[in-house]
Amino acid sequence: MRTKMRLNNDPSKLSLSPLVSNGISQMMSNPPRNEGSSAVSSIKSSAFGNHTERNFDVVKDSMGLAISLNKTESLDAVLDDFSEGYFSLSNENRKKLLLVLAKEYDLNRNQVRELLKQYLGLELQSGNEGESSNVDDGSVLFSAFYQIEKNLRQALKPTYDVLFERFNNHTGGLKFLSILRADILSILEHENIVSLRALEYFLKEKLSTWLSPAALELHQITWDDSASLLEKIVAYEAVHPINNLLDLKRRLGIGRRCFGYLHTSIPGEPLIFIEVALLKNVAQTIQEVLWDDPSIPEPEATCALFYSISSTQPGLAGINLGKFLVKRVITLVKRDMPQVSTFATLSPIPGYMQWLLSKLASQSVLAKGDNTEQPAGGSGSTFQENLLEPDEERMLMNSAPETCAGKNGMEVMLNLLTATNYEWTSSAELVSALKPPLMRLCARYLLQEKKGGKALDSVANFHLQNGAMVERLNWMADRSEKGLRQSGGIMVNYMYRVEHIEEYAQSYFSTGHIHASSDVRLYTMPQKEHEATAD
């Protein structure tokens, strides 16, 4: 049975919506995308089957019937008909239909306005001096308040709420709604359509309610699970691709654990799963976790290391199932293995190199005296600053080959990091010269660069909001092409100190404060203070 299981990391082999061009999420509430997932955009099928495209108006009418029908005995057939019709549509017609849903089945604002007028009228009447204080009059007045409030609550629900509720109670409906939201998110990546954004937000809130921890089953995924489930683990693994059967078996074998959240409405398919390595110490490189042999005997393990968290449903992006999963797994491991006292991650830093290259490019432009031009796609600074310490600049200028020469250290660094095939990693001298600035600027990126008061890096934000702290930066921890492209090969250990998880999560949520070890904070200190501390 196992030998027949096709191992590949091509999400296009799974049943996803053709509008989802980047379907596989990685590590967080709003995660980075898996390589190769653009293949999903070409698929014209889903878990609900392949169909010749139907007439748009027919599918539109089917949607209207799914919302308006009162006959319970016919509802399942109508919902099936609409979902099949939806999946038969081209990308353009799906977008057109979603806009109809967002606009024509929105709430009735004229009704809301009239109810508000009535409500305000009652407030004014009750506040007039000289009004009767008769108890009966007061009861009538409050009865009127309650009735209008009830009507307001109903009026503030958009009509498409009926469709969502019906699909949630329909076999396969939750999966359909997840794909529907994935399509909406795909459209919103390119166009900011207000009505569609309101539709997406409303659906997200509904899904968040329906996918509460109480509705999810924590399942330990083992080698004995069905081949179809294991195929999904292989295909959806978004952090460290599973290469072959032996690789998969190792990740599910002695010294390793894999847990996933399942939902009864999407049987046999984890919504999110986490991979755990049982170790003596916190690993510093992904090599130790994935390839170094042999695994230690489990009774000797004192550390549970989370090295991969992957979401399988693009339509659930932003719904933080991982938060609950991490905490549940910590509780379960503590119960089953009391000797394990350390809970940490070995995590990628997916946004670091993009941020750094943008900073270096913008500073290069400013150094040339052109303050108006900014690099495309970056968040370049409008202020001139030297990102390098004097010693770092000297080392880079002295070690750079002619092909990567520049007028200053930042230009040299930019040339080295953007050179093809990451040639700098093959030179011990260049690796030595780049390590100090890359590690220091990585600490700055993780601890100080923020968006909306929260960590700029998506994986950092995920773990920090869950109550972790930044424990250690690891140089050359992931030498894969992906690791070098995302973070120059640097990985980070986040530590979950059980006794402080809630405290750290609350302080991060309320003030944006990031807890970090003294070793990591040392990187962000000015050079003179750093040297004084070292002495």
Q: Which of 170, 240, 463, 515 is catalytic?
A: 463
> Which pair of tokens denotes residue 219?
């399942």
Amino acid at 360: L
Q: Is 463 a catalytic residue?
A: yes
Beta strands in 214-302, from DSSP E residues, in sequence order:
217-220, 256-262, 272-279
Q: Is 347 a catalytic residue?
A: yes
The closest alpha carbon to 515, from 528, 502, 527, belongs to 502
Three-state DSSP at 284 gives coil
Question: How far apart, in whole angstroms, are the C-alpha atoms of residue 404 and residue 396?
Answer: 10
Q: What are phi and psi of 275, to 5 degrees?
A: -110, 135
Question: How far apart, in whole angstroms, are the C-alpha atoms of residue 27 and residue 50?
Answer: 31
Q: Which of 347, 358, 364, 399 is catalytic?
A: 347
> Which pair of tokens denotes residue 109?
């604002």
The closest alpha carbon to 176, from 21, 56, 66, belongs to 66
Amino acid at 451: K
N- to C-terminal Cα distance for the chain? Answer: 62
Amino acid at 530: H
Within a 10 A sphere around the Cβ of 406, how many other Cβ atoms?
Answer: 16
Please give the DSSP secondary-structure letter assigned to residue 42: G
Taking each helix axis from N to C terminus, what angle separates 352-367 and 409-418, rounded to the nearest 10 degrees? Answer: 140
Question: How far apart, in whole angstroms, are the C-alpha atoms of residue 284 and residue 184?
Answer: 39
The DSSP code sequence of 506-518 is: HHHHHH----B-H
The closest alpha carbon to 173, from 165, 182, 181, belongs to 165
Taking each helix axis from N to C terminus, what angle separates 458-465 and 321-336, rounded to the nearest 10 degrees? Answer: 60
Element (H, E) at 54: none
Within a 10 A sphere around the Cβ of 375, how many other Cβ atoms?
Answer: 15
What residues are paired with 259 via a beta bridge? 220, 274
What residues are paired with 140 via a beta bridge? none
> Which pair of tokens denotes residue 131?
């009004």
Residues 350, 487: contact at Cβ < 8 Å? yes
> Which pair of tokens denotes residue 60?
């539109």
> Which residues, at least 6 apart from 394, have a Cβ–Cβ distance to it below 8 Å?
409
Please give the DSSP secondary-structure letter assigned to residue 156: T
Q: Which residues are catalytic?
A: 347, 463
